[in-house]
Amino acid sequence: MNWVEKDLQHIWHPCSQMKDYEDLPPIVIDHAQGSCLYDMNGNRYVDVVSSWWCNLLGHCNERVNHAVKAQIDRLEHVIFANFSHTPAINLCSRLSPLLPPGLTKFLFTDNGSSAVEAALKMSLQYHYQTGNPQKTRFMALSNAYHGETVGALSVGGVDLYSRIYKPMLMDIIRVDGPDCYRCPYEKSRDNCQTECFAAAEQALAEYADTVCAFIVEPLVQGAAGMKIYPPGYLKKLRQACTHYHVHLIADEIATGFGRTGKLFACEHASVSPDILCLSKGLTGGYLPMALAVTTQPIYEAFYADYSEGKAFLHSHTYSGNPLACSAANAVLSILQEERILETAAENAKYFRQLINDSLIRHKHVGEIRSIGLINAIELVADRAGKQPFASQRRIGYQIYKKALTKGVLLRPLGDVLYFNPPLTISREEMDFAVRVCRECICDVLE
């Protein structure tokens, strides 16, 4: 039996209809280097989605590899209650000054969804312990994505992932968020005054008394199709949350670590959240680890004599794993010493131009949106009416399959194709990936 047959005998792959694997069997990867994956048959794939947005500095980066190998011979893991280790201590003391101001206290979890869960619980318990036990609900934007465990799924607004589970989800307050491509106010990016913020303002005015936190993906709603909205919206949200005594939770799990051109997307709006969630790029995409980082005032609401029962009891077995911390420390060193963001900014201009030049005239390209090295191409049936394709046609999926045969991993979000490559992608790789993308769009749609 070959590897593919053995895989299909036992493995239930994530985010997949397994029956699709009948005509697109799993691609068994043997090794990887930089932006490229190599399968067991020696085929190469340029990983322009950073293996689900987590690979930050290329696969098998020499310095990250070295750091993890060195750590594994000293300490692989230790209980993190009462015990600590230098990789975690170094990570937090190095990261704190790089974060939006005021974020000084670090709670470790082991994946993005669990960091979101921790942030939600932390906010609710803060209000409970500071005289507002009635503040128990959460607010979130339409089309939000915050992960897939029950709490995280509850605040998410992508129906595809949550529809079936509604009976087990929390009753949250959903706010119509920005939708710049199909702006209901018919504004363009040039004359936008974030009129759409009125919905959030109104919901806060109505419900703030019972709301503990508003969670948001700063600037880029990733899973919704890389929807990008202006910093002004986030600024207004920060002000309104402060006014209404509601925590702002910034989910930078996808946008953190340079993806939007700044180290953190919040910097574009010069705002600090009350709680910041980080994962994905945190370890360079090497090991699962996440953080919920918060402020001194929130921390202090939990700090009391044991008998008061105010501790935050949230824990995960692998909290603060030293191997993951060693990878994260290496990532920080590389970001600081190798001019990664500066080079990525230069390359972002090139990439954006290249994608625009190659695709903007295509009659099924509705919009191209870009921030940092993230570029998304929304395909539509009718460009003038911004009408989507019927979802049963699975246009994005057809293009994805075609691109795989040509050596590019371009896994779309519905009919939104996107590039969110390692920050270290080369111009040759960009040229190749965009050429393949264009060919595949033409093959499938003509």
Binding residues for ligand PLP, rule: CB under 6 A, are 111-113, 116, 145-147, 217, 222, 251, 253-254, 279
Nearer to ligand PLP, 49 or 334 (CB): 49
Binding residue per annotation — 96? no
Tokens of 71: 């750590």
- To the question of whether residue 236 is assigned a binding role by annotation, the answer is no
Round to whole Å and give the CA distance between 27 and 413.
19
Count of Cβ atoms closer than 10 Å to residue 21 Cβ: 15
Which is closer to ligand PLP, CB of 51 or CB of 333? 51
- 53 annotated as belonging to a binding site for a ligand: no
Task: Please tell me the distance from the alpha carbon of residue 309 to that of residue 74, in angstroms, as a whole number.
Answer: 36
Q: Which is nearer to ligand PLP, 327 or 395 (CB)?
A: 327
* Most distant pair of Cα atoms in the chain: their distance: 70
- How many whole angstroms separate alpha carbon 402 and alpha carbon 277? 35
Minimum CB separation of residue 268 from ligand PLP in Å reads 16
Q: 102 a known binding residue?
A: no
CB of 117 to ligand PLP, least distance (A): 9
Report in angstroms how near the CB of residue 145 gets to ligand PLP at its nearest. Answer: 5
Is 279 one of the annotated binding-site residues? no
Nearest to 154 by CA among 187, 117, 194: 117
Give the DSSP H/E element, type plus range, for residue 379: strand 374-379
Shortest distance, CB of residue 398 to ligand PLP, whole angstroms?
Answer: 25
Q: What is the number of the residue whose Cβ is closest to ligand PLP?
A: 112
Closer CB to ligand PLP, 91 or 215, in the complex: 215
Give the nearer residue to ligand PLP in terms of CB position, either 152 or 408. 152
| 259 annotated as belonging to a binding site for a ligand | no
DSSP H helical ranges for 208-292: 231-243
Instruction: Please answer whether residues 375 and 356 qualify as being in contact, where contact means their C-beta atoms are separated by less than 8 angstroms.
Output: no
By beta-carbon proximity to ligand PLP, the closer residue of 358 and 370 is: 370
**Residue 317 labelled as part of a binding site:** yes
Tell me the residue length of the chain.
446
Task: For residue 366, give both structure tokens.
Answer: 């509705």
12 is in an annotated binding site: no
Q: Whole-number minimum distance, CB 146 to ligand PLP, in Å?
A: 5
Q: Classify residue 389 by its DSSP letter.
A: P
Torsions phi, psi for 69 (to 5 deg): -60, -40
C-alpha pair distances (Å), 276 with each of 133, 257, 374: 23, 13, 21
CA distance 109 to 316: 6
**229 annotated as belonging to a binding site for a ligand:** no
Helix (H, G, I), strand (E, B) or coil at 20: helix
Q: Is 52 annotated as a binding residue?
A: yes
- Where b means 16+ CB within 10 Å and e means fewer, 219-233 reads bbbbbbbbbbbbbeb
Q: How far is the CB of 426 from ligand PLP (least distance, A)?
A: 25
Closest approach, Cβ 113 to ligand PLP, in A, equals 3
Q: How far is the CB of 327 from ligand PLP (least distance, A)?
A: 15
Strands, DSSP E only, in 40-171?
44-47, 103-109, 137-141
403 touches 24 (CB < 8 A) = no
At 260, the amino acid letter reads T
Instruction: Please list the residues that pair with 140 across neighbouring strands.
Output: 174, 215
- Nearer Cβ to ligand PLP (55/111): 111
- Of the two residues 135 and 280, which places its CB atom closer to ligand PLP in the complex? 280
**What does the angle CA 421 – CA 12 – CA 320 come to, to the nearest 5 degrees?**
60
CB 309, min distance to ligand PLP, A: 29
Question: Which of residues 287 and 395 has its CB atom nearest to ligand PLP in the complex?
Answer: 287
Give the integer Cα–Cα distance in Å for 178 and 129: 33
Binding site per annotation, positions for pyridoxal 5'-phosphate: 112-113, 251, 316-317
Binding site per annotation, positions for substrate: 52, 145, 280, 315, 411
Binding site per annotation, positions: 52, 112-113, 145, 251, 280, 315-317, 411
